[in-house]
Amino acid sequence: MEDELRKAAKILADGGLVALPTETVYGLGADACNETAVARIFVVKGRPQFNPLIVHAVDLEGAEKIGVFGPVERQLAAAFWPGPLTIVVPLSAERGEEKAEISPLVTAGLSAIAIRVPAHPVMGLLLRLSGLYIAAPSANISGRVSPTSAAHVIADIGDKVDLVIDGGETSEGIESTIVKVVSGVDGGNELLLLRPGTITAAQLSEVSGLKVRGLKFRNDEGVSLPEALLSKASLPEAPGALLKHYAPKADVRLNADEINSGEGVLGFGPEAETGPLSNLGPVFNLSETGDLREAAHRLYAGLHYMDEQGVGMIAVRPIPMEGIGLAINDRLRRAAQN
């Protein structure tokens, strides 16, 4: 593996693209300081240039050379890095030998930068060996289901990258939680949850002692979404949040109580199938024991499986709206969007 990673480090240093494993999903990586390489990421993904990229740093010290961290951000980093938490901070304005010049394409011209220190050992070693900041969105065509295995990456964009590193199935299964420290109405700090993930709002609140904003409940469909998804006014806060995303080729139907003939079933809990069925389509249970962490881990594999099976409609059984369930429902809700 180390030889392959040296090769990957060389490709990145020369401005190439490497698909790499992280603990959340596979990323499409480039040297974050190389404008041409970063531009290629947008082309390969078909990603709009207003949607900025996450930068992966080797550790907090490295992160502090490109972003401005206050005490709250440091506290979050100390608690959750390396791990599936992305922190949005002001872009460091200082320039000089010690400072890296992140390509403005990475931040889509914003004055804030999204940074995380990933926990996957392969990615950690690659960051160390290369000495680079690696910009990496999920390694899928924009709008499609994110990859949680090297096979997913190869099927989607394998022919468009210089190397795909196989680091096995990702453990988390969904993208990192994204958080930003903002000032609240009373002048104190609050956390704004820009994207839910496997690090939950409750965990962020417990570590920081701060209120976490960004989750609003929509009772019509019983689905909760980050506020950012519901209000266009907050678009600059989370440029990627309004897009249809994570979409399989099939249509997706949420909170399905009854399954119709021929539909694919994404189950949760012991009873994936329901009602009298004459013509049952493919069934993929996210977690037979009703474990939300396991369901997140298997979510995209389930959506990829349904596409392989060629179903026209995926009926998703109800998934509880608590803890990691918020992140799962967020992804499914966007997969279902027309």
Binding site for ligand TXA (CB under 6 A): 22, 24-25, 27, 51-54, 86, 88, 107, 110, 112-114, 136-138, 175-176, 178, 194, 238-241
Q: How far is the CB of 284 from ligand TXA (least distance, A)?
A: 22
Instruction: Report the C-alpha gap between 38 and 17 in whole angstroms.
Output: 9
| Structure-block tokens of residue 35 | 């404008």
- Cβ closest to Mg ion, residue 107 vs residue 138: 138
- Cβ closest to ligand TXA, residue 263 vs residue 330: 330
Site for Mg ion in 120-149 (CB under 5 A): 138
Q: How many residues bind Mg ion (CB under 5 A)?
A: 1
**Crossing angle of helices 201-208 and 71-80, rounded to 10°:** 120
Q: By beta-carbon distance, which residue lies closest to ligand TXA?
A: 240
List all residues 6 or more positions away from 263 whose beta carbon is below 8 Å from its beta carbon: 253, 256, 281, 311, 312, 313, 314, 315
Q: How far is the CB of 12 from ligand TXA (least distance, A)?
A: 14
Q: How far is the CB of 113 from ligand TXA (least distance, A)?
A: 5
Q: How far is the CB of 136 from ligand TXA (least distance, A)?
A: 5
- Cβ closest to ligand TXA, residue 5 vs residue 178: 178
Q: How far is the CB of 158 from Mg ion (least distance, A)?
A: 17
Cβ(16)–Cβ(162) below 8 Å: yes
Q: How far is the CB of 252 from ligand TXA (least distance, A)?
A: 19
Q: Residue 173: what are its φ and ψ, rounded to 5°?
A: 90, -20
At residue 113's C-alpha, the angle toward residues 110 and 117, to 5°, is 165
Cβ(197)–Cβ(212) below 8 Å: no
- Cβ closest to ligand TXA, residue 132 vs residue 178: 178
**Crossing angle of helices 2-13 and 121-130, rounded to 10°:** 50
| Structure-block tokens of residue 294 | 């396991």
CB under 5 to 8 A by kind: which of ligand TXA, Mg ion, none does 112 bind? ligand TXA
Helices then strands, each counted (H, E), the chain: 10, 16
Q: By beta-carbon distance, which residue lies closest to Mg ion?
A: 138
In the complex, the residues that contact Mg ion under the rule CB under 5 A are 138
